[in-house]
Amino acid sequence: MKDPLERYYRILEGNEKALYLLLRENESDFDSESCDDDLWSLHEDEMKTFWSHVSDGSGTVGTKPIEGRSLLDLKAELARRMMRRCEICEWKCSVDRTAGQEGRCGVLDARISSEFLHYGEEPQLIPSYTIFFSGCNFKCAFCQNYDISTDPGNGLLVPATRLADMIERRASGSETSPSVQATGRVRGRAVNVNWVGGDPTPNLAYILDVLRISSADIPQIWNSNMYLSEKSMRLLEGVIDIYLTDLKYGNDSCAKRLSGIPDYMRIVSRNHVLAAKHAEVIVRHLVLPNHVECCSIPAMNWLSKNTPEALVNVMDQYRPMHRAFEHEDISRGVRDEEYERVRDHAESLGLRLV
């Protein structure tokens, strides 16, 4: 059976390039004065060409940077336009964030709450250069990062050029501590860039601008609740090497009550399928107390039918935080038997667990 992170490991071994670098090596002769429909049509055509080059091996290792604008530049242009009547996530607030109008997430300019070399992620991903953005488009009652997710004004404004330089340094190991040895990896050197938060989704345009000027051959990870619009998923196509997703619920009712999110299953399941079509996927599922039958079991069933090649991390570290005590069902920790029931069910379905 194919390794679910096969391409990721080829990048780490120097036998493939990070996808975003391949986008930068594909020229896009677009007119910035063109209307949105024309640019989206051009984007669709050029992505087809891009994937044909990747699949036939002509767009992997050894290609040279172009002199003009690239396909990644086109994606960044489209993302900036989406900010003017924001439709980056599925709230589709239609506000002009470039003019200071706030939508559901409250995010205007991208603010970085923290960034560091993380050794607490999945074993396959460490050490991971995690970049935490402030603000989120969810309002989860049990959020463990509520200090940054509920405060989009928290953190610092970091110019794209500065963050691109920081990524270069982390990828080379020149700004990391050598105190921890990552299994099978170079000590103290980041092996990926991990865009997280809060949630990275409201900051899509900024992230694409950073990658336009970055040149580190390092995999890009989208660590997200996956409530993106379909257009945003199209822009991430060919940029992200691994989607590190959060599949929270197994039904819409729980999602609405505990995270304030409508139409959860349709949107998040659609985006998982789109993610798996063009990248590798690790799915996180945090087992909630009293939600094994309504959420965890249906979530595992869905994954086995729709993204069977994904890695799945069934997580047991839920603790009641933030506003969790407002909801009796999630006001305690997870019991061992609840976690074991979910993990046993996932194994019985043949899911590949972290």
- For the segment 248-299, what is each residue's pLDDT rounded down to a tens digit? 999 999 999 999 999 999 999 999 999 999 999 999 999 999 999 999 999 9
Ramachandran quadrant class, 218 (left: phi over 0; alpha: psi -120 to 50; beta: rest): beta
3-class SS shares of the chain: helix, strand, coil, % to 5: 40, 15, 45
Q: Note the pLDDT tens digit of each residue in 312-328.
A: 999 999 999 999 999 99
Does the pLDDT at position 178 exceed 70? no
Burial 58-91 (b: 16+ CB within 10 A, else e): ebbeeeeeeeebbbbbbbbbbbebbbeebbbbbb
Least confident range from 108-117, 130-139, 183-192: namely: 183-192
Q: What's the mean pLDDT when you consider all of the chain?
A: 94
User: Which SS3 state, helix, strand or coil, does residue 319 take?
Assistant: coil
What local confidence, expressed as pLDDT, does residue 118 receive? 97
Which of 141-150, 160-169, 179-188 has the least mean pLDDT? 179-188
The pLDDT of residue 350 is above 80 = yes
pLDDT in tens, 165-174: 999 999 999 8
Percent of the chain surpassing pLDDT 70:
94
Residues 306-310: what's their mean pLDDT?
A: 97
pLDDT above 90 covers a percentage of the chain that reads 91
Q: What distance in Å separates the CA atoms of residue 263 and residue 255, rounded to the nearest whole number?
A: 8
Residues 197 and 133: beta-carbon distance below 8 Å: yes
Domain boundaries, the chain: 247-354
Confidence of residue 55 (pLDDT cuts 50, 70, 90): confident
Residue 179 binned pLDDT confidence (cut-offs 50, 70, 90): very low
Summarize pLDDT for 32-53 with one digit per residue, the tens. Answer: 999 999 999 999 999 999 999 8
Give the per-residue pLDDT at 66.
73
Closest CA to 164 of 105, 112, 103: 112
Per the model's pLDDT, the better-predicted residue between 55 and 191 turns out to be: 191
Look at the block and give the residue holding tokens 């839920």. Answer: 318
Q: How much is the pLDDT for 58?
A: 59
pLDDT in tens, 335-345: 999 999 999 99
- pTM confidence score: 0.94
Residues 247-354, CATH architecture? Alpha-Beta Barrel (3.20)
Output the pLDDT for position 65. Answer: 60
Cβ atoms of 25 and 66 closer than 8 Å: yes
Interval 219-245 mean pLDDT? 98
Q: Predicted confidence band at 188 (pLDDT cuts at 50, 70, 90)?
A: confident
3-state class of 285 per DSSP?
strand
Banded pLDDT at 67 (limits 50, 70, 90): confident
